[in-house]
A and B are shown apart, each in its own frame.
Chain A
Amino acid sequence: MKTVMLGLATALLAMPAVAEQIVGQPAGNFRLTDMDGRNVALSDYKGKTVVLEWHNPGCPFVRKHYDSGNMQRTQAAAVAGGAVWLTINSGAPGKQGHLSLAEAKGQYARDGSKATRYLLDPKGVVGKGYGAKTTPHLYIVDPAGRLVYQGGIDDKATANPADVTGARNHVTAALAELKAGKPVSVAESRPYGCSVKYAES
């Protein structure tokens, strides 16, 4: 059954295999299985702002933002503001950071994640479709389904948790601007972190 769903996820993906999403254009739809085994599609959240976060629990740059509490704070603020937060793991089986459903549940609990859903993309189809290159790598889709931000979580490209203070959190800033009905001032930034551990094709 699960393989059928994964197959469906691949088939439903309305975008070429390797592509990038363009800010201002409709974000590509996808369907993935979450850590509870439920099907989750981007189109389920039409009318809501959606944040996508690429995740690898073993990556030091991801740890910087989880162990400092920065990522959870950003998630909590986003959800409190009415947005949906989807964390996506595109790590291939056998690669660093790949999680099974059960492992994902454990990791989610240990990190105290505030994400709405934790999605698994072991074939990397959605990751590649979005051009996700690093962990973390963040995207924001507005209620109309258009991509309004892609890039890093902030502007301090280091692995040092002390650099969280004083950095500009691009996601928090973009969500605030969206809420205020203003255009997103920084709509793209260079993502930084570990490479997404895709399967060798």
Chain B
Amino acid sequence: MRRLLAFLAACFLAAPAAAQLAAQPRHLAIELVAESDSPAPGGEVTLALASKPDPGWHGYWKNPGDAGIETTLAWTLPGGVTAGPLEYPVPHRLVIGGLMNYVYEGPFAQFVRLKLPAGLAPGTRLPIAVKADYLVCTNEICVPESAQLSTVLTVGDGSITPERRAQFDQWRRAMPKPLGSAATFAVEGGKMRIGVPWPADQAADGPYFYPLTDGAIAYAAPQTVGRAGDTLVIETQGGGKVPGEVEGVLALDNGRGFEVRAVPGAVPAAAAQAALDWRAVLVAFAGAVLGGLILNVMPCVFPILSLKALGLARAGGDERAARGEALAYSAGVIAVCLALGGILLGLRAGGATVGWAFQLQDPRVIFVLLLLVTAIAFNLAGLFELSAPGAVNRLAAGGKGGAFMTGALAAFVATPCTGPFMAAALGAALVLPTAAALTIFAGLGLGLALPFLAIGFVPALRRRLPKPGPWMATLRHILSVPMFLTALALAWVLGRQAGVDGLVLGLGAVLVAALALWWTGTRQAKGRGLAWAPAAAGIVLALGGMLLVERKPAAATEVAALGAKPFSEDALQSLRAGNKPVFAYFTADWCVTCKVNEKAAIETATVADAFERGGVEVLVGDWTDGDPALGRFIERHNRAGVPLYLWYAPGAAEPRVLPQVLTPAMLAELPTRTGVGG
């Protein structure tokens, strides 16, 4: 024995690093916590290795990256008790000296599930011990550490204290969720391309693929991510090997992660690849310039432009002054377009979880657009005047310095016109990267400024300008017709989205606004002061209608054809206590398979009829935000997460877990097979 000790001592003396390790406190504090201290026999209990690295130190993910090692565990467990694999939360990236590290720099918790044998007597003590070997590093140095952890569990009823549950649920949120749909990958010319199923209408901000399969990708190489329909296409440098399959975790900016398993297969070309991307931006830019050009004949811009142009024509032969003013005007236009674009982009960044397309599906947005377009139409028709031309008159006289302001004003006044006519181009801009989006907004400004630039630089054009006169008023009245048609189209969209009630509410608001504007118009005609007071009051009142229109459509669009209610275990219990057949399904906005099943099977008339006749109650659980309570329920029936479809026949003890790919016939026969059909 003594000889052994001496030998060990010699080993330690010869190993300065290891000796240091024994003498110094550890850099990663680990605590072994059981979710339940009294697990039930035959059941499972989750253990957490709750870890906290010292400031400046980091622990490693399962795949440590270019260097480092994963955690290894050696268990000492009572007979019959078995431990599952170590489960890691979503890591983050740390690049040091060009080498990639997948790490945890803050507190994190790894999970292990213990399985207890059935038949253990309640009250049996279960001493649990584990030796954890792991690496903890700073940017400079690495220390392999070893921790002896232990806890004692007592066989019981599996109860969990609320505090423990809350703590574990918090840790659970950091765990990657099974994606529920299979991914594909392809290696082409040294590049690894991975196609991850991801619904086209779901945002995916800051995606990064953490590979578990070693050698599949070059860890430190940048990843580009594009979208192609319902696929997220990740492209990066390959790792030199062509693996049989690629496993990993897709992580998003919001800290959520999804377990991905990719098999060899076709990967679609990403719509937003770098080369393609810029071509699309160029097309959108050209469209924006053209759109801006068209905006010049919009009645809200035309008067400003013509006043300014006539001012230039009057100035006569001074070429330099004309050019200077044209440039200043253009600068003003482009500056305002960029500023407005910047604000729009800022709003998008603020509401990052909501895509642009989603906003247009919101009846409240349609409601506001309807009011705005109607007001513009009435303005064109001559019901009331905007006071802008007066201000422009003053500015137009100002000459050089005023030119910038005139341009700014023209761009600003043009924005309401921009809405309906440029919606497509601006919508495209909002889904592009910031730089590309701003290019499009600048293009819009350039187009708007183009005629004036031409007038400023080509004297011949100046001499040919038409004289302003009564024909302008006629043109304006004629142009109110397309505006009214636009309003009509918006009213139809509102009706589709919010039903007859929403439509009537919208038209009522339009009526209130129109009457108020009419009143304002009469006051303006008589030259009264405070002409805008009635209009302001009316518009506020009309906009107030927006608050009423919000609720109903939200419920109307959410509820599926089956009259599904939100899932909760209480709701399920009470329905089952009432001896009703229940179909419960679990879905998430990021799950493509779920959406396909809903469209192709669940929300079909066949199923609706069959369920109606069978008196089937439908419960739907939305796991989009990874709710842990829902997660636990899902996990009890299916380790693979969503989609999950459960059929509770009346009186049956256990639900039937339906396949992950549904057909209408499969669902329609459910009530009849259990004999409840009518």
A194-B137 contact in complex given A133-B66, A134-B66, C-beta closer than 8 Å: yes
* Contact yes or no, B98 A198, CB < 8 A: yes
**C-beta contact mask, B129-145 vs A, less than 8 Å → 1, else 0?**
00001010100111110
Contact partner of B97 (CB less than 8 A), chosen from A63, A67, A200, is A200
* Contact yes or no, B67 A194, CB < 8 A: yes
Complex interface: chain B residues within 8 A of A124 (CB): 97
B85 on the A face (CB < 8 A)? no
**C-beta contact mask, B67-84 vs A, less than 8 Å → 1, else 0?**
111101000000000000
B435 on the A face (CB < 8 A)? no
A190 on the B face (CB < 8 A)? yes
Which candidate, A26-34, A158-166, A172-180, is the interface stretch facing chain B?
A: A158-166
A128 to B101 Cα, complex, angstroms = 16
Task: Give the interface centre of B14, B17, B137 by most chain A CB atoms within 10 Å.
Answer: B17
Interface residues on A, range: 35 or more
A134-B67 contact in complex given A161-B11, A195-B101, A200-B97, C-beta closer than 8 Å: yes
Complex interface: chain B residues within 8 A of A192 (CB): 67-69
* Contact yes or no, A196 B69, CB < 8 A: no
A193 to B214 Cα, complex, angstroms = 15
A177 to B72 Cα, complex, angstroms = 32
B18 on the A face (CB < 8 A)? yes
Q: Report A82-97 residues with CB < 8 Å from chain B CB.
A: 92, 95-96
B469 on the A face (CB < 8 A)? no
**C-beta contact mask, A1-16 vs B, less than 8 Å → 1, else 0?**
0000000000000000
A60-B144 contact in complex given A20-B240, A159-B69, A193-B67, C-beta closer than 8 Å: yes
A199 on the B face (CB < 8 A)? yes
* Contact yes or no, B68 A195, CB < 8 A: yes
* Contact yes or no, B17 A63, CB < 8 A: yes
B283 on the A face (CB < 8 A)? no
A77 on the B face (CB < 8 A)? no
Complex interface: chain A residues within 8 A of B141 (CB): 58, 96, 194
A101 on the B face (CB < 8 A)? no
* Contact yes or no, B99 A196, CB < 8 A: yes
* Contact yes or no, B98 A128, CB < 8 A: yes
Q: Report B88-139 residues with CB < 8 Å from chain A CB.
A: 96-99, 101, 133, 135, 137
A196-B17 contact in complex given A133-B66, A160-B133, C-beta closer than 8 Å: no
Shortest CB-to-CB span from B11 to chain A, Å, is 7
A40 on the B face (CB < 8 A)? no
* Contact yes or no, A195 B67, CB < 8 A: yes
Complex interface: chain B residues within 8 A of A96 (CB): 140-141
Shortest CB-to-CB span from A198 to chain B, Å, is 3
Shortest CB-to-CB span from A117 to chain B, Å, is 24
A60 to B96 Cα, complex, angstroms = 18
B16 on the A face (CB < 8 A)? yes
Shortest CB-to-CB span from A190 to chain B, Å, is 5
A22 on the B face (CB < 8 A)? yes
A184 on the B face (CB < 8 A)? no
The count of residues in chain B whose C-beta lies closer than 8 Å to any C-beta of chain A is 31
A196-B15 contact in complex given A134-B66, A190-B214, C-beta closer than 8 Å: no
Contact partner of A197 (CB less than 8 A), chosen from B15, B68, B97, is B97
Complex interface: chain B residues within 8 A of A161 (CB): 11, 15, 18
Complex interface: chain A residues within 8 A of B133 (CB): 158-160
B215 on the A face (CB < 8 A)? yes
Complex interface: chain B residues within 8 A of A188 (CB): 241
A190-B18 contact in complex given A59-B142, A92-B97, A158-B72, C-beta closer than 8 Å: no
A144 on the B face (CB < 8 A)? no
A186 on the B face (CB < 8 A)? no
* Contact yes or no, A195 B140, CB < 8 A: no
Contact partner of B142 (CB less than 8 A), chosen from A18, A160, A194, A201, is A194
Shortest CB-to-CB span from A23 to chain B, Å, is 9
A158-B15 contact in complex given A92-B97, A190-B215, C-beta closer than 8 Å: no
A19 to B224 Cα, complex, angstroms = 20
**C-beta contact mask, B256-296 vs A, less than 8 Å → 1, else 0?**
00000000000000000000000000000000000000000
A188 to B214 Cα, complex, angstroms = 12
* Closest B residue to A22 using CB positions: B240
* Contact yes or no, A67 B15, CB < 8 A: yes
**C-beta contact mask, B178-208 vs A, less than 8 Å → 1, else 0?**
0000000000000000000000000000000
Complex interface: chain A residues within 8 A of B241 (CB): 188
**C-beta contact mask, A73-113 vs B, less than 8 Å → 1, else 0?**
00000000000000000001001100000000000000000
Complex interface: chain A residues within 8 A of B17 (CB): 58, 60, 63, 67
Task: Give the interface centre of A60, A63, A92 by most chain B CB atoms within 10 Å.
Answer: A60
A41 on the B face (CB < 8 A)? no
A143 to B97 Cα, complex, angstroms = 32
A42 on the B face (CB < 8 A)? no
Complex interface: chain A residues within 8 A of B69 (CB): 157-159, 192
**Among all A-B residue pairs, the 7 with the closest Cβ atoms:** A198-B97, A159-B144, A195-B67, A133-B66, A67-B15, A194-B142, A60-B17
6 contacts between A and B (CB under 8 A): A95-B97, A158-B133, A194-B142, A195-B67, A198-B97, A198-B98
Q: Which residues of A contact B (CB under 8 A)?
A: 18, 20, 22, 58-61, 63-64, 67, 92, 95-96, 124, 128, 133-134, 157-161, 188, 190-201
Given contacts A18-B98, A195-B97, A195-B142, 19 further A-B contacts (CB under 8 A): A58-B141, A59-B142, A60-B142, A63-B15, A92-B97, A96-B141, A124-B97, A133-B66, A133-B67, A159-B69, A160-B133, A195-B137, A196-B97, A196-B99, A197-B97, A198-B98, A198-B99, A200-B96, A201-B97
